[in-house]
Amino acid sequence: TQYTLNGNKISLALAKVQAKTNLQISLKYKVKADATEGGIVTNSFSITSEEDPAGIQFNSPNLTIVIVDNQPPTGSIAINSGSAYTTSVGNNILSLQATDDYSPEAEMQMMIANTSDFSNTTWEPFTASESWTLTPGEGTKTVYVKYMDSHGNVSPVYSDSIIYDPQVILTSVTAAGLSVDVDAGVYETMQRKPVFSGISDAGAQIIIKVLTALIQVILTADDDGYWSWIPAEDLSIGQHLVEISAQDMAGNTASLKFYLKIATSSTENQKNTDAANDPAQLPKTGWVGFSLIFGIISVTGCILGWLIYRKNSRV
């Protein structure tokens, strides 16, 4: 038979007995423990025969029920809402959850650590959110947590991991075989289809822009972080502004901007001609020729003057 006792449904089975027969009744039911009373609740109930309500009646004294709670709470943890990467050691947000049949969250405790042995940590009141600092150094970080209910039952250890990546690398950049290591530097080559290459983080997105040629390409660095690109068309003769940027999976960015000058052999000849006509070069070449011509003119003038003098003397 189903009964309701203080809001809790219970089942009670009675054997058919004579009215004068002594009854032994076994009653079991489960209720939520009241932690303020140490897990003990007191209830009373009455039993009446359905066939002859006036024949068998039993009114109990107060019934004391002791709740035995040996079930640990269950829970979870997530770092930064389950993100795969973080760019900061500090200010990471832990989302925490703990549930228990007999203990509300306000009566539970938790223990959080950066190591699975929970060394140098203590129990603290449960909170659903906690700001947390990871251990220093790049790489995968794991945070551990366990929960305890109001009766001392401790949950299994829960954990979550995240990759700490504070910066992206952009190194060993080359253009036409030239090492590009100075931002805004000028590099010269005769290659019309120069190879651009470099090293970044594995899986990083590489964006190459030849701004003066309105070219933009997007690459992905391989598992070793290597990337390379060759223009599909010849770059025009002249100076080009090139910008190379990298963004890793954590969102970190780095960039390098430089000038690449495409030259030809005719350009080099023109440079030599310009250098020869440079007034700054006259002390090395121009004055020598000028002095020689001046000397010849002077000697010639002297000879002509002597001949005229001899002729006049004879007359």
Q: Domain ranges in the chain?
A: 2-66, 74-164, 170-266
Which amino acid does the sequence have at 103? S
> pLDDT band at 116, cuts 50/70/90?
very high
Please report where in the chains the tokens 């121009």 appear, as a residue. Answer: 286
Domain 170-266: which CATH number of 3.40.50.300, 3.40.30.10, 3.40.640.10, 2.60.40.10: 2.60.40.10
Q: Report CA Rg, the chain.
A: 47
pLDDT > 60? residue 255: yes
pLDDT for res 279: 55
Q: Is the pTM of this model over 0.75?
A: no
Minimum mean pLDDT among 78-92, 100-114, 276-290: which range? Answer: 276-290
Which option is the CATH number for 74-164: 3.40.50.450, 2.30.30.40, 2.60.40.10, 2.40.50.140? 2.60.40.10
Q: Band the pLDDT of 34: cuts 50, 70, 90.
A: very low
Residue where the block lists tokens 């959110």: 129
SS3 47: strand
Q: Over the stretch 8-21, which tens digit does the pLDDT of each residue have? A: 555 555 445 454 44
DSSP string, 83-119: -SEES-SS-EEEEEEEE-SS--GGG-EEEEESSTT-T
Residue showing tokens 């002095």: 291
Bridge partner list, 160: 143
pLDDT on residue 33 = 47
47 CB burial (10 A radius; 0-12, 13-18, 19+): middle
The residues with which 43 forms a beta bridge, in sequence order, are 63
Assess contact for 234 and 194: CB atoms under 8 A: no
pLDDT in the model for residue 59:
52
Q: 305 near 297, Cβ under 8 Å?
A: no
181: confidence class by pLDDT, cuts 50, 70, 90: confident
d(CA 128, CA 80): 13
Is residue 306 very low, low, confident or very high in pLDDT (cuts 50, 70, 90)?
Answer: low
